Amino acid sequence: MEKLRKALNGVLNVLAGGSMAVMAILTTYQVVARYIFNSPSTWSEELVGYLFGWSTMLGATIVSGERGHMNIPILVDRFQPGMRKAFHILWEVVAFVFSATILVFGGWQVSNLAMGQQTSSLGVAVGVFYWVMPLCGVVILLYSVLNIIGIANGTISLDVSDEATEAVAKVEAEKAATAANSRKRKEGGLNCGHSKHYWRSWQCCWCCCSSVCPFPTPSQSLR
């Protein structure tokens, strides 16, 4: 299963990265041709628009496979482990049904309908560029099945991420250290004869902040 996931990730990353690279090259070519050689290109602009759609669909598919779409699991994280697992499996089933109906079936229908149309500059059937919808839909179906299997057998962790756990632990440790230092300040003191707070001219001497007290001793202040 993991080999299949890695293979799909590799292919999608190459396709998405290649689409972005070609878009950057064509955009640069278009700017140079328009503003330097005064000979604007129409086919490059059209192709960049279609490649943008391809890169968007490929990127969304990659994120779907990594289960990285934006979510706010405030409520779900409070569930019991069994309930949490059932919820995540249900979500993958919803993604499976959506991909099967909208992307695979709907995308295939749209592609067939658009095969009779041609792009204005490239002269290619528009339906060819719509093939990305059913293709990505099939890949998302595979990802959904892999995710359901991984959630069911426990290979996909549903707990809070390690980074989040470390961040929370770090904050708690800083709070504990601050509280400990505060207690030391309150309990500590100097051998200067002052109390914990010695007020003089609206100033306060915290006796634990320095090894040398800047104010005179009580006996000196009475002189």
Is the CB of residue 8 less than 8 Å from the CB of residue 139? yes
| Predicted pLDDT at 195 | 46
| Predicted pLDDT at 88 | 86
| pLDDT values of the chain reduced to their tens digit, one per residue, 223 residues | 778 888 888 999 999 999 999 999 999 998 998 888 888 888 888 899 899 999 999 999 998 888 887 777 777 777 777 888 888 888 899 999 999 999 999 999 999 998 888 888 888 888 888 999 999 999 999 999 999 998 888 777 776 554 455 555 677 788 888 877 777 666 554 444 444 444 444 344 444 444 445 545 445 444 5
Taking the C-alpha atoms of residue 218 and residue 212, their distance in angstroms, rounded to an integer, is 15
Taking the C-alpha atoms of residue 127 and residue 64, their distance in angstroms, rounded to an integer, is 24
pTM score above 0.75: no
| Predicted pLDDT at 153 | 84
All residues at 6 or more sequence positions from 109 whose CB lies less than 8 Å from its CB, including other chains: none
| Predicted pLDDT at 34 | 86
| Predicted pLDDT at 186 | 60
Taking the C-alpha atoms of residue 67 and residue 159, their distance in angstroms, rounded to an integer, is 13
Taking the C-alpha atoms of residue 145 and residue 156, their distance in angstroms, rounded to an integer, is 13
How many C-beta atoms surround the C-beta of residue 44 within 10 A?
22
All residues at 6 or more sequence positions from 179 whose CB lies less than 8 Å from its CB, including other chains: none
| Predicted pLDDT at 174 | 83
Nearest to 30 by CA among 51, 48, 50: 48
